[in-house]
Structure 1
Amino acid sequence: MRFTRMGGTCLRSEMMVVETPGCYSKALVGVNLVLAFIDGGIAVLAFYQLIRIHSRNPQRGWTRQKVFHLMIGSSSTGYGIYFILTLVAACKNWICWSNSCGFVVMALPKILFLAAFLLLLSFWVDLCHQANDEDEDDGSPRAALIEKANKRNLKINSRRRYCSFRVFPVGSRQQAVILVTLLILVIMLASAVLIWIGLGKNPIDSAVVARVYVDTFAVAMLLLGGALACYGYVLVSKMSKVRSERTSSEMWKVAGLAIVSVICFTSSSVVAFFTNIPVLYHCDWRSIRGIYVSLLLIVYYFIGSSVPSAFVLWIMRELPPSVAINVPEESRTLAFVSDYSPATEPQQHWTTIATAQNQVSRASPI
């Protein structure tokens, strides 16, 4: 069976009869169950690792590492629920599912997935600009770092007066990520309302609204992949100037994550542009069957979402050091995401790149 895009609807090249009325074919049922199992496994691993990280040092509150595990676990859980409900809705002939309900359940996990990688991009941007600021500083690098750290601590302490729980320091770029995520969520809800209104007698075409949203989201994923590739290249080029075993390991992590993101996001975006796989819930499931659709589902969901999520979990698999009560905590610094406590020493606030560059500048006779 092949799909062609026309007016946002699903058209089939030839009529095919399905053995069980209203249900997917056996091949598509198997693919959906496998995808649900994979995403369920990723969600279990993410939440299990989150519990382990929190048990190592519960005094730290919410760190960046914990936030990543929570977002990836929630996104994977949403995908698993979507695949299961898709099968149930097809066999039970849920009318609401083929309209706004299926759209919302399909869109929410993707928004969480996008937010997680936008957050990753914001940290990479911070690292790149932080390193540039150090290179352009004519004064003492260490004095500048301490001054910046003290200013950051003052801002964090003032925020804590109004907050009863601890979170990782939220910079301006992380605030922008939150605003962008909320904006996308509002657009998704508005699209769902338009899809529901389009069911009545009015000029609104529900299928067109869904297609516009899917295509816009695909463009956002392409831009995100390109941005991760650019800033990943900048980070790798800066880290390659420092010779150390730790820096070399982090450099390969950054490069690997950038490559995986570009390949996976491009693949899923191409499928979204030229097929109706993202809005498969809106199609007539009695006509959906075949290896062609199964392969597209694997490319869009498994390669486009499951592989990047699993890769991030693999990179962040290392646990932070266990810290006893009233004992100063050593920061855990990673090239792509930095976990630290604002109460630690100022020099512990900086990334591997900054630390390595300071060491090189002190050792150099120039």
Structure 2
Amino acid sequence: MRKLVPSPSLPTATALAGTPEMAAVALALALRGWWEEVNGSPAWQDGAFFSLSAAYALVSAVALVQLIRIQLRVPEFGWTTQKVFHLMNFVVNGVRAVVFGFHAQVFLFQTKVYTLVLLDLPGLLFFSTYTLLVLFWAEIYHQAKNLPTGKLRIIYMAVNGVIYVIQVCIWIYLGTNDSPLLEPVSKIFISVVSFLALLGFLIYGGRLFFMLRRFPIESKGRRKKLYEVGTVTAICFTCFLIRCIVVAMSSFDPDLSLEVLDHPILDFFYYMLTEILPSALVLFILRKLPPKRVSAQYHPIR
């Protein structure tokens, strides 16, 4: 049996009879009834989560194909930032596809922390994947400004390491203590992590974009790079902003919870807007392969 989270009751239409707002309230009640019926329908749940699984599998396959194409084009280079980015996209989206493919089991674990781990860990990996772009842009910006770049990777790894350690500690505590207060704290932590990501895109994506705009030489390559940086920054900033707001709100409002089976429509649009569409768009924008021979325009980052 699928366990559903009960929704708070609303006043009935008869209690509001005779008021000027009766028609509007009746419509709201009808919509609420439809919403609750959809949320409680196994058919809608399966449709939403299997659709998410298929979409994630498609994006994962695209990332793998792109990784293989890059490897065939420049096999002499090691694991560059570009290759690692596509590999992590393949892993993140593949894990999401499997999780949502088995949604009926994932959301109904007797121990809630197992569900949280399976849903939150890919989100952290998504953070690490896309902040790689922030690291790459930061290195370009620092090199252009003749600033040291040696500590940028250390900062990236340190920040990610601290985030994962804190999250693992939260999971361990949730698994050993049945505290109703710690789950909202975990959601707020994920919201803070998303805020750090959008801040990184705003700072270094914005800096690199305006630096490219100030270049005196007008060329096709400059316009393409300007378009690439600007659009990827806007996409990633928006998706992490939505994630930050929705997760923060869900920590206070159970009706916005993303860790239950009976919110299929909310989950569908949330993951579609914060991971699937951004990943698909960014992979499309960054689809260009490196040149076959090393040139002045291509510097692999090992």
TMscore range, shorter length: 0.7 to 0.9
C-alpha distance 172-277 of structure 1, shift in aligned 2 (>3 A) = farther
Question: What corresponds to 2:104 in structure 1?
Answer: 87
CA distance in 1, matches of 2:278, 2:291: 26
Give the deviation of 1:250 after TM superposition. Answer: 0.7
Which amino acid in 2 is paired with 1:112? L
Question: What corresponds to 2:49 in structure 1?
Answer: 32
- Aligned-pair RMSD on alpha carbons? 2.9
Give the deviation of 1:76 after TM superposition. Answer: 0.8
Give the deviation of 1:32 after TM superposition. Answer: 0.8
Give the deviation of 1:279 after TM superposition. Answer: 5.5
Helix, strand or coil: the match of 2:145? helix
Q: Deviations over 1:342-366 (max 9, x none)?
A: 8xxxxxxxxxxxxxxxxxxxxxxxx
Give the deviation of 1:38 after TM superposition. Answer: 0.7
Question: What corresponds to 2:152 in structure 1?
Answer: 173
C-alpha distance 278-62 of structure 1, shift in aligned 2 (>3 A) = farther
Give the deviation of 1:115 after TM superposition. Answer: 0.7
Instruction: Map 1:235-274; keep pairs closer than 5 Å.
Output: 235-242=208-215, 243-274=218-249
CA distance in 2, matches of 1:188, 1:81: 22
Q: Number of paired residues?
A: 269
Give the deviation of 1:89 after TM superposition. Answer: 4.0
CA distance in 2, matches of 1:277, 1:311: 30
C-alpha distance 188-278 of structure 1, shift in aligned 2 (>3 A) = farther
Helix, strand or coil: the match of 2:76? helix
- Structure 2 length as normaliser, TM-score? 0.79
Please point out which of 175, 199, 216 is paired with 1:196: 175
Give the deviation of 1:255 after TM superposition. Answer: 0.7
Q: Deviations over 1:300-338 (max 9, x none)?
A: 211111122222211221122335xxxxx33554xxxxx
Question: What corresponds to 1:50 in structure 2?
Answer: 67
Question: What corresponds to 2:295 in structure 1?
Answer: 330
Which amino acid in 1 is paired with 2:110? I
Give the deviation of 1:94 after TM superposition. Answer: 3.5
| Consecutive aligned runs of 4 or more in structure 1 exceeding 4 Å deviation | 276-279
Which amino acid in 1 is paired with 2:109? W
Conservation of the 8 A alpha-carbon contact between 1:42 and 1:73:
yes
Please point out which of 268, 273, 293 is paired with 1:298: 268
C-alpha distance 278-261 of structure 1, shift in aligned 2 (>3 A) = farther
Instruction: Map 1:1-366; keep pairs closer than 5 Å.
Output: 12-14=7-9, 25-89=42-106, 93-96=108-111, 99-133=112-146, 171-199=150-178, 205=179, 207-242=180-215, 243-275=218-250, 276=254, 280-281=258-259, 283=260, 285=261, 288=262, 293-323=263-293, 329-330=294-295, 333=298, 339-340=299-300
Conservation of the 8 A alpha-carbon contact between 2:258 and 2:266:
no
Conservation of the 8 A alpha-carbon contact between 2:109 and 2:115:
no
C-alpha distance 316-196 of structure 1, shift in aligned 2 (>3 A) = same
Which amino acid in 2 is paired with 1:104? V
CA distance in 1, matches of 2:227, 2:208: 11
Larger radius of gyration: 1
Which amino acid in 2 is paired with 1:313? L
Q: Deviations over 1:45-86 (max 9, x none)?
A: 111211121122222111111000011111111211221232
C-alpha distance 213-124 of structure 1, shift in aligned 2 (>3 A) = same
Give the deviation of 1:231 after TM superposition. Answer: 2.3
Give the deviation of 1:11 after TM superposition. Answer: 5.4
Which amino acid in 1 is paired with 2:197? L
CA distance in 1, matches of 2:41, 2:127: 29
Conservation of the 8 A alpha-carbon contact between 2:198 and 2:236:
yes
Helix, strand or coil: the match of 1:321? coil
Conservation of the 8 A alpha-carbon contact between 2:258 and 2:267:
no
CA distance in 2, matches of 1:196, 1:101: 8
Which amino acid in 2 is paired with 1:110? G
Conservation of the 8 A alpha-carbon contact between 2:128 and 2:160:
yes
CA distance in 1, matches of 2:182, 2:211: 44
- Structure 1 length as normaliser, TM-score? 0.66
CA distance in 2, matches of 1:280, 1:24: 16
